[in-house]
Structure 1
Amino acid sequence: MPEMAAGKTAVWIDTDPSVSPGVHEVDDGFALIQAFNSPELEIRGVSVVYGNAPFEAAWPIGQEIVAMFGPKGLKCYAGASRAEQLGEETDASRAMAAALKKERLTILALGPVTNVATLLKNHPELSGQITAIVAVAGRRPDQHFSAGNKNAPPFRDFNFELDAPGFQVLLDSKAPIVLAPWEVSSKVWMKRVDIDRLAAASDGARYLVKPASDWLGMWSDKFGTDGFNPFDTLAVGFVTSPDLIECEDLPAEIRSLPDDTKPQKPANKPYLIVSKDFASKRTLRYCHTPKPGFKDDLMRRLLK
């Protein structure tokens, strides 16, 4: 078993990075820099999955961030390029399995869960080695992911919807699951003043500045907001700073309901929903409220 300092948590990060200049989602980049600058974590590996970007774009971005800013010796593994690869072994699923055979791990699932679901589908005996899977997904009943004042259509529950069957594999497993959903991340805002602070900080912080500036501009134009939500950072924060995020244990189900992002074409789609009123025996930890100190804690890690 690898040696680990007292008080540290061994983690595996599965991510779909797209952080780059232009209008590209930046939260995985923020979450990776946050994790790399968190002494509470022992990062055993990083794997890349499709999602915010096609795999062909995400893979070199993931490799670059790990090589430039990750702990010395940290390896990056290629995972699934599409949801249809659920159950197909990749370098990512094999490496996760090998790591779990050595020690218990918390898995930060920052993108679609195809890599993690493949691990559990092919190696169900390893579910007991998983301390928790922290996924960026989920909602309460009748909750819509809306931002700003321009009446833009609600967001999709992006990671979940890209591989709902994969998430069902997680629900069917015995692995503990934590949700860091839109509800909790929608209460944290990265604004121009925050990006300006990054520009005067470390190389890792400066790496985020141009992509974050472009992303901020898109949010302003499309949603009328003066900031954006750094979604994936709440998943990392649950592990590094659990005292700064309020959560509760709730039953969860996948249900088919009308698509709230396409009101003119109300075909059904799957939703990952939690509710105290559900009879489901599958209970997840659902994070819903960041405490006042969370933003300062996040910025401190990003600025290192």
Structure 2
Amino acid sequence: MPEMAAGKTAVWIDTDPSVAPGVHEVDDGFALIQAFNSPELEIRGVSVVYGNAPFEAAWPIGQEIVAMFGPKGLKCYAGASRAEQLGEETDASRAMAAALKKERLTILALGPVTNVATLLKNHPELYGQITAIVAVAGRRPDQHFSAGNKNAPPFRDFNFELDAPGFQVLLDSKAPIVLAPWEVSSKVWMKRVDIDRLAAASEGARYLVKPASDWLGMWSDKFGTDGFNPFDTLAVGFVTSPDLIECENLPAEIRSLPDDTKPQKPANKPYLIVSKDVASKRTLRYCHTPKPGFKDDLMRRLLK
């Protein structure tokens, strides 16, 4: 078993990075820099999955961030390139399984859960080695992911919708699951003043500046907001700073309901629903409110 300092949490990060200049989602990049600068974490590995970017784009970005800013010796593993690979072993699923055989881990599932679901599908005996799977997904009934004042269509529950069958594998397992969903991340905003602070900080912080500036511009144009939500950072924050995020235990299930992002096309889509009214016996930890100190804690880690 690898040695670990007292008070630290051993984690595996499964991510779909797309942080690059141009209009690309940046939250995985923020979350990785946040994690790398968090002394509470012992990061045992990073794996890459499709999602915010096609796998062929996400894979080199993940390798680059790990090589440039990750702890010395940290390895990056290639995972699934599409949801249809659920159950197919990859370097990522094999490496996660090997790591779990050595010690208990918290898995930060920052993208579609295909890699993690493959692990549980092929190695169900390892569920007891998982302290928690922290996933960026889920919602309450009748909750819509909307931002700004331009009446743009609601966001998709992106990670979940890209592999709902994979999430069902997680629900069917006995592994503890924590959700860091839109509800909690929608209450944290990265604004121009925050990006300007990154520009004057460490190399890792500066790496985020151009992609974040472009992403901020898109949010301003499309949604009429003066900032963007750094979604995946709330998942990392749950592990590093649990006292700064309010959560509750709620039953969860997957339901098929009309697609709220396409009101003119009444086709159904899957929803990951949490509620006291859900009849399922499967209970998850649902995070919903960041406390006032969360943003300062996040910025402190990003600026290191």
- Aligning the two structures, in what range does the TM-score lie when normalised by the shorter sequence? over 0.9
Deviations 1:273-299 (Å, cap 9, x if unpaired)? 000111210000000000000000000
Give 2:32's aligned residue.
Answer: 32
CA–CA distance in structure 2, aligned partners of residues 72 and 142 of structure 1: 45
Deviations 1:135-158 (A, max 9, x none): 000000000000000000000000
Partner of 2:108, secondary structure, is strand
1:170 & 1:136 partners in 2: Cα distance? 13
Match of 1:178 in 2: 178
For the pair 1:251 / 2:251, whether they are aligned, the reply is yes
Provide the rounded CA distance (Å) in 2 between the counterparts of 1:269 and 1:20: 30
SS at match of 1:64: helix
Alpha-carbon distance in structure 1 between the residues aligned to 2:185 and 2:31: 12
CA deviation after TM superposition for structure 1 residue 213, in Å: 0.1
Unaligned runs of 5+ in 1: none
Shift of 1:123: 0.1
User: How many residues are paired up?
Assistant: 304
Match for residue 96 of structure 1?
Answer: 96
Residues 120-135 of structure 1: pairs in structure 2 closer than 5 A? 120-135=120-135
- CA distance in 1 between counterparts of 2:266 and 2:248 reads 31
Shift of 1:79: 0.1
Of all paired residues, the percent bearing the same amino acid is 98
Once structures 1 and 2 are overlaid, which stretch shifts more, 204-213 or 271-280?
A: 271-280
- In the alignment, the residues of structure 2 paired with residue 185 and residue 266 of structure 1 have an alpha-carbon distance, to the nearest angstrom, of 28
Q: Distance in 1 between matches of 2:215 and 2:117?
A: 30
- Deviation of 1:300 (Å): 0.0
Within 2, Cα distance between the matches of 1:50 and 1:289? 28
- Distance in 2 between residues matched to 1:83 and 1:133, nearest whole Å: 18
Q: How far did residue 24 of structure 1 move?
A: 0.1
- CA deviations 1:94-136 (Å, max 9, x no partner) are 0000000000000000000000000000000000000000000
Q: Please report how far the alpha carbon of residue 81 of structure 1 lies from its aligned counterpart in structure 2 after TM superposition.
A: 0.1
SS at match of 1:248: strand
Is 1:153–2:129 an aligned residue pair? no
* Structure 1 residue ranges (4+ consecutive) displaced by more than 6 angstroms after TM superposition: none
Partner of 1:54: 54
Cα separation, 1, equivalents of 2:253 and 2:2: 36
Q: Distance in 2 between matches of 1:185 and 1:269?
A: 23
Q: Work out the CA distance in 2 between the residues paired with 1:142 and 1:203.
A: 42
Q: Distance in 1 between matches of 2:184 and 2:32?
A: 19
Q: CA deviation at 1:171?
A: 0.1
Provide structure 2 residue ranges, at least 5 long, that are not aligned to the other structure: none
For 1:47 and 1:174, the matched residues in 2 are separated by: 22
Secondary structure, counterpart of 1:147 in structure 2: coil
Deviations 1:9-65 (A, max 9, x none): 000000000000000000000000000000000000000000000000000000000
Does residue 242 of structure 2 align to residue 242 of structure 1? yes
Q: What are the superposed Cα offsets for residues 166-204 of structure 1, whole Å, 9 maximum, x if unpaired?
A: 000000000000000000000000000000000000000
Mapped partners of 1:164, 1:184: distance in 2:
21
Cα distance in 2 for residues equivalent to 1:280 and 1:86? 24
- The aligned residue for residue 211 of structure 1 is 211
TM-score (normalizing by structure 1): 1.00
Q: How far has the Cα of 1:266 moved from its partner? A: 1.2
Question: Could you say what secondary structure the match of 1:298 adopts?
Answer: helix
The normalised TM-score by structure 2 is: 1.00
Q: CA deviation at 1:159?
A: 0.1
Q: 2: CA distance between counterparts of 1:16 and 1:93?
A: 15
CA distance in 1, matches of 2:11, 2:227: 29
In the alignment, the residues of structure 2 paired with residue 125 and residue 281 of structure 1 have an alpha-carbon distance, to the nearest angstrom, of 21
Cα RMSD (Å): 0.2
| Match of residue 66 from structure 2 | 66
